[in-house]
Homo-oligomer: A and B are copies of this chain.
Amino acid sequence: MPELRQDPVTGCWVVVAKERAKRPYDFIQKENNPVQICPFEYGNESMTPPETLAFRPDSLPPNSPDWIVRVVPNKFSAFTPEDFEETLSDGLYKHRRAYGAHEVVIHGPDHDLNLATYPVAQTTQVLKAYKMRYSYHKNQPYGKYIQIIINHGKKAGASLEHSHSQIFAMPLIPQLPKSQLAGAADHYDKTGRCIYCDMIESEIKDSDRVIERTENFMVFVPYAAKLPFETWILPSQHRPQFEEITDSERDELAEVFRRTLRRFYIGLSNPPFNMYLHTSPPGYERLESYHWHMSIIPKLTIAAGFELGTNMWINVTIPEQAAEFLRDVKTGESG
């Protein structure tokens, strides 16, 4: 059972992922990466735990091929829904079970395509799966916070190369979203405004960092981007909850998201990247102050001793130059 342990100094929680655990000796030899059968392709459905969601023709049974998008529990879960447990204290140290869920959203059946190269309809289905699974986990007893991410490429931490997202649902709000929520609520208390709405207004005025605007979405490099080419996608109007997205907004987001990924794919030659989606946690009461957004960060540099020791980032690319570069990429009309 994976476990949460609390750092007694900072109060931050760490997942000790016993299910994913490697024995110390596993780290000694370099992995040879033997050719493996991909569990995310048609015909290999039994290699994953039974699906929790899939889009396929109604006539076909669950866990059969011919799905469009498929969601399965992670075989090596960082969070598991099995047992709730209160925080236990062990003198100075506190721990609790890593109660929650950890799922994989398989973006499609083709091993060689990804969200930059599939037709946009595929992205739409992925966003639909995000929304459905988000809404499911939100209503579970462990659903205090839900983190949707993509790790694309081995250097960005993907253990399987077949294009996929991951959904983590957990019983507490981790520190980065917590400090964002607090900072945004504080800004609202001072100004009566959502800070993300203020940023959008400021970015429109001073357009150096804007990559793209559509009817309902903005894409820009944030002013204090922590890493080269960090890019945000946000709804232009105040939208605190991703799961409240309408079908037409979702379809527009699919276009914008795919085009943004194509800027990276074409401009930076299919770089490894990470994506994470920040949205108001389930039950959040300060919805006037928070605004959902996606961050996409290509993995081009290595966070090292300075970042580990300080939690402060050194960005070796000037945000305005990164935005100019991404803005100018010719994304093409189709995959």
Say if the beta carbon of A168 comes within 8 Å of chain B: yes
Binds B, one of A108-116, A128-136, A176-184, A236-244: A176-184
The total of chain A residues at the interface (CB under 8 A) is 92
Binds B, one of A38-46, A50-58, A211-219, A298-306: A298-306
Cα A258 to Cα B94 with chains together (Å): 32
Which B residues touch A321, using CB under 8 A? Answer: 21, 23-24
Residues 297-318 of A, flagged 1 when their CB comes within 8 A of B and 0 if not, give 1101111111011111111111
Which B residues touch A120, using CB under 8 A? Answer: none
Say if the beta carbon of A268 comes within 8 Å of chain B: yes
Say if the beta carbon of A84 comes within 8 Å of chain B: no
Say if the beta carbon of A83 comes within 8 Å of chain B: no
Q: A24-B317, A268-B27, A304-B149 are in contact. Are A226 and B157 (CB under 8 A)?
A: no
Binds B, one of A11-19, A59-67, A245-253: A11-19
Which B residues touch A318, using CB under 8 A? Answer: 16, 18, 21
Which B residues touch A187, using CB under 8 A? Answer: 8-9
Q: CB distance A310 to B177 under 8 Å? A: yes
Q: How many copies does the complex hold?
A: 2
Q: CB distance A317 to B21 under 8 Å? A: yes
Extra contacts, 15 of them, besides A23-B321, A276-B305 (Cβ < 8 A), are A6-B224, A8-B183, A8-B224, A14-B315, A16-B318, A20-B314, A21-B316, A21-B317, A24-B229, A78-B306, A92-B202, A92-B223, A151-B305, A157-B301, A175-B312
Q: List 8 A-B contacts (CB under 8 A).
A: A6-B224, A8-B183, A11-B179, A14-B225, A21-B317, A23-B317, A93-B224, A174-B310
